[in-house]
Structure 1
């Protein structure tokens, strides 16, 4: 039971993170993402779609605001296996650094 509570506390609250970020940094994009906030929880695909909406414009190309929990990382690494992608291809697909993918693979022993 303690592990479940710990796991809940360690995973990012994407709804809160994105809500706060959008309200403070880019309130003009709220109309484009508000439907995601009516869901009970956000899936990896929801997080990636919101990232694209928020960060795709040329003014916000920085990746420093992206955050992924363990389940999302494992899902991306499984996507890599399923589609037989190398680290560079996976990084391009999810807009990540190749070094990040390598680090995740070492950490999660995938």
Structure 2
């Protein structure tokens, strides 16, 4: 299965919702560096920082993470000595997902 072309997707979204951001060098730089799921989520939050509760809940159900992003999250937890609950709040994840990842990746 091929992964989606997130750069093209984001360009289309930016053209439609906020075309002025296409001239911003920071946006263009981040757009060219979308490598992991975590990068994509962070870029989306950068572009659209204010979200209502309804959209946050629906977006949570659609998130998926690649192995590289999961490892970054678990390393972040270890470096900052966070509990599963604290990490879940930080990255807006469920504690069950974190526990499952720990079993798989450790």
TM-score interval, smaller chain = 0.5 to 0.7
Count of residue pairs the alignment pairs up: 96
Q: Helix, strand or coil for the counterpart of 2:65?
A: coil
Within a 5 Å distance, the mapping from 1:10-21 to structure 2 comes to 12-13=3-4, 16-17=5-6, 19-20=8-9
TM-score of the superposition, structure 1-length normalised?
Answer: 0.64
The residue that corresponds to 1:57 in the other structure is: 51
What is the CA-CA distance between 1:29 and the residue it aligns to?
A: 5.3
Give the root-mean-square deviation of aligned CA atoms: 3.3
Higher relative contact order (CA closer than 8 Å, sequence separation 6+): 1
Residues 90 and 34 from structure 1, CA distance in 2 versus in 1: closer, same or farther, beyond 3 angstroms? same
Residue among 91, 96, 110 paired with 2:93:
96
| Cα distance per residue 1:54-86 (max 9 Å; x no partner) | 585114112122221101101100110010000
Normalising by the residue count of structure 2, what TM-score does the alignment of the two structures yield?
Answer: 0.66
